[in-house]
Amino acid sequence: MKRPTEIPKADGKLAVLLPGMGAVATTTMAGVMLARRGKATPIGSLTQLDTIRLGKRTENRAPKLKEFLPLASLDQLEFGGWDLFQDTAYESAAHAKVLSNEHLAEVKDELSAIKPFEAVFYPEYVKRLHGTHVKKAANKAEMVEAVRADIRKFVKDRGCSRAVSVWCGSTETYLPPTDVHASIKTFEAGLLKNDPGITNSQIYAWALMKERVAFANGSPNMAVDHPAARELAREVSVPVAGKDFKTGQTLMKTILAPGFKSRMLGLRGWYSTNILGNRDGEVLDDPDSFKAKEVTKLSVLETILEPKKRPELYGDFYHKVRIDYYPPRGDQKEGWDNIDIVGWLGYEMQMKINFLCRDSILAAPVVLDIALFLDLAQRAGFRGTQEWLSFYFKSPMTAPELQPEHDLFIQVKKLKNTLRWMMGEEMLTHVGHEYYD
């Protein structure tokens, strides 16, 4: 990643393409529409609300991120997407029941105009869904071409100057990369041969990257987390990021665990359980899809606490994560955590957290920020994995030889320092010795 000398302005409309137009995608779209009409505040979004300190504390320079950076404005965004159900964004949002009827009525016309393209959907990767709004093609290579045609059509019809994409589709069954994912060459041969290792989300990601559209992955799928995708992202110069939006219980874990570690408090066990009743919950009721989610959720504590470096505190903790599908609760997930910690001389303590959250309300600002930052990264000439966006993900993608950073506070520092560096500002060290020397 080279420091950009000049970042082109965010001129023209930006297409925000969201494969999977379910609860998260439609809550994001509706929220942007409400915010740009001044009918609601985009709470949770750094790009819309946060400031950034620049220079010394005595300089009192803390502009809003959206004033400091050449970001696209909400007015410039044009939403599109794909789904295996043909519901418009309005119908899908009404079905998801995340937003109130009053909020939806306010933007009904705009949402109703967003109709999904037909999906690439090989059902073996998402066993609980049965949709009919799907593409037909002789092989996976043709599917890639069909998605590329959709992208070009959308960008042309809506008069956009460029596009970004964020995967908001369902969690697929857990399938680690195989030989077919080794390189661009093997992957493209696999597409022609309908290789079973190539999933729906990988087909979209491939098509989007081929169209030079930056791609972020909001689910635990291996959409771009494999060597062939890394090679393509570098070759065609697109930024990619992932994976699995950090919201709800995992967000809380990455806030609390760094606190325990900072104060050298030990951990004996962390039991987390959730009930949720939205379509995401239904998909995750399938053990193979849950496996993918479990992998991203479990990795968090190990990497924050680093048991090998501190065996006396974290050498033997028990970590369990459960998700149960419970339809009456809809999108209003409830999570319980029981945390067994130990203090001075090994005395035990317990903490219980009962988080009554709203899944898509926490995810929507994340989707918006990722879309705007990816667009910025693309204009700044960044390519490949964007580790500085780890802040937004449960299982941050990194170079293969690196450990991901999960600590939310380190992640936000990294994000803001990257932005300072990108804009030619001094990075913050927090040393501050000059005030006392």
Span from 39-47, 79-87, 138-146, 336-344 in contact with ligand NAD (CB under 6 A) = 79-87
Of how many residues is the chain composed?
437
**Among residues 218, 266, 365, 396, the one that binds ligand NAD under rule CB under 6 A:** 218
Choice between 290 and 314, CB closer to ligand NAD: 290
The amino acid present at 276, given as its one-letter code, is L
Cβ 323 to ligand NAD shortest distance, Å? 10
Comparison of 290 and 373: residue with beta carbon closer to ligand NAD:
290
Nearer to ligand NAD, 29 or 422 (CB): 29
Question: Pick from 31, 42, 80, 169: which binds ligand NAD (CB under 6 A)?
Answer: 169
Considering the complex, what minimum distance in angstroms separates the CB of residue 22 from ligand NAD?
Answer: 2
Q: With beta carbons less than 8 A apart as the criterion, state whether 48 and 197 touch.
A: no
Of residues 418, 417, 361, 369, the one with CA closest to residue 392: 369
Print burial letters for 157-184: b (CB count within 10 Å at least 16), e (below 16).
eeebebbbbbbbbbbbbbbebeebbebb
Q: Residues 319 to 358: which contact ligand NAD by CB under 6 A? A: none
Alpha-carbon distance of 175 to 122, in angstroms, equals: 14
Interacting positions 173-212 with ligand NAD (CB under 6 A): 200
User: Is position 365 an interface residue for ligand NAD (rule: CB under 6 A)?
Assistant: no
Residue 119: how many other CB atoms lie within 10 Å: 26
Residue 215 binds to ligand NAD (criterion: CB under 6 A) = no
Residue 82 in contact with ligand NAD, rule: CB under 6 A: yes
Structure tokens, 313: 């505190």
Residue with smaller CB distance to ligand NAD, 127 or 268: 127
Answer for which of 10, 17, 24, 71 binds ligand NAD (CB under 6 A) is 24
| Cα–Cα distance measured from residue 47 to residue 392, given in angstroms and rounded to the nearest whole number | 13
Inter-residue contact 325 to 285 (CB < 8 Å):
yes
Task: By CB under 6 A, tell whether 370 contacts ligand NAD.
Answer: no
Among 16, 17, 23, 374, binds ligand NAD (CB under 6 A): 23
Chain centre to alpha carbon of residue 141 = 26
Segment contacting ligand NAD by CB under 6 A, of 99-107, 120-128, 335-343, 403-411: 120-128
Chain-centre distance of CA 13, in angstroms?
22
Q: Which stretch binds ligand NAD (CB under 6 A): 49-57, 279-287, 310-318, 341-349?
A: 279-287
String of DSSP letters for 262-289: HTT-EEEEEEEEEEE-SHHHHHHTSHHH
* 121 is a site residue for ligand NAD (CB under 6 A): yes
Binder among 13, 20, 33, 396 for ligand NAD (CB under 6 A): 20
Q: Who contacts 33 (Cβ-Cβ below 8 Å, separation ≥6)? A: 106, 107, 110, 111
Closest contact distance (angstroms) between CB of 172 and ligand NAD is 8
CB of 58 to ligand NAD, least distance (A): 40
**Close Cβ partners of 273 (under 8 Å, ≥ 6 residues apart):** 321, 322, 323, 324, 335, 336
Contact footprint for ligand NAD (CB under 6 A): 19-25, 82-85, 96, 119-121, 126, 129, 131, 168-171, 200, 218-219, 244-245, 247-248, 278-280, 283, 359-360, 362-363
